[in-house]
A = this chain, B = another copy of it.
């Protein structure tokens, strides 16, 4: 059940039996010469819809743009500053918490969002308490990174070994190929690829990782792999969602 394709009456009815909602969050940032700029949002959204179907859960609209400041030296990348993203997440959750939602299950497609999301959750709990909302202290946010699912991680290792890398990975590229087969890209990928440098500012990042990839070989990706990743992630996160929403 997609929030965007529902009416408020349907949401009101949904709230009678569940206070859980899935919040997909991605990013809009370079993903190497062949990866889509929307990769992280596409993956999060596809998996979130899959989890929503599997669990009858409500799925909110995808947060397309996350914390990707370190990618902004590549054209087409967009980012919020962390403190703005905290504010955004806080306001989204607050609107829904006022309507009696209490369990917020974030399905995240971008490693760069993790720290800021965790910070946002802390800030949100305190904000809700300050508003004196009834049940403020029952609001809970869960961070589910699809690419860190055990089953996903294992398959990526099997298929790609250390060519999985850590950005513009074949696993995420494969998933976008499965979702958007019409947007599979071809471009020369130099065999040498930046690897092992830490992430600091945007200019430094581009110096270290000149084509945007971090140790990955996305040429290994196939849509069939993508389908496998999709199914593993949906299965694992559906299980996690149900535990979360049915938990105390």
Chain A residues with a Cβ under 8 A of chain B: 2-12, 15, 28, 30-38, 41-42, 60-62, 64-65, 67, 69-70, 72, 74-84, 86-88, 91-92, 95-96, 98-100, 112, 114-123, 125-126, 128-132, 136-142, 180, 183, 185, 187, 198, 200-204, 212
Q: Is the CB of A87 within 8 A of B84?
A: yes
Q: Is the CB of B60 within 8 A of A78?
A: yes
Q: Is the CB of A36 within 8 A of B6?
A: yes
Task: Return the contact of A201 from the options B35, B65, B87, B128 (Cβ within 8 A).
Answer: B128
Closest to A121 in B: B200
Q: How far is the CB of A147 from chain B (nearest CB, A)?
A: 18
Task: Return the contact of A119 from the options B7, B67, B126, B204 (Cβ within 8 A).
Answer: B67
Q: How many copies does the complex hold?
A: 6
Closest to A117 in B: B115
Task: Return the contact of A37 from the options B3, B84, B202 (Cβ within 8 A).
Answer: B3
Q: Is the CB of B77 within 8 A of A95?
A: yes
Task: Pull 6 A–B residue pairs with CB atoms less than 8 Å apart, ordered by A.
Answer: A8-B74, A84-B84, A114-B115, A116-B118, A119-B119, A125-B204
What's the Cα separation between A3 and B141 when bound, in Å? 30
Q: Is the CB of A41 within 8 A of B4?
A: yes
Q: Is the CB of B88 within 8 A of A8?
A: no
Q: How far is the CB of A210 from chain B (nearest CB, A)?
A: 12
Query: With A75-B12, A77-B95, A137-B204 in contact, is A37–B119 under 8 Å at CB?
Result: no
Task: Return the contact of A7 from the options B37, B122, B139 (Cβ within 8 A).
Answer: B37
What's the Cα separation between A69 and B98 when bound, in Å? 12
What's the Cα separation between A203 and B136 when bound, in Å? 9
Closest to A128 in B: B201
What's the Cα separation between A78 and B82 when bound, in Å? 20
Task: Return the contact of A126 from the options B41, B69, B116 (Cβ within 8 A).
Answer: B69
Closest to A34 in B: B7
Task: Return the contact of A203 from the options B6, B33, B67, B137 (Cβ within 8 A).
Answer: B137
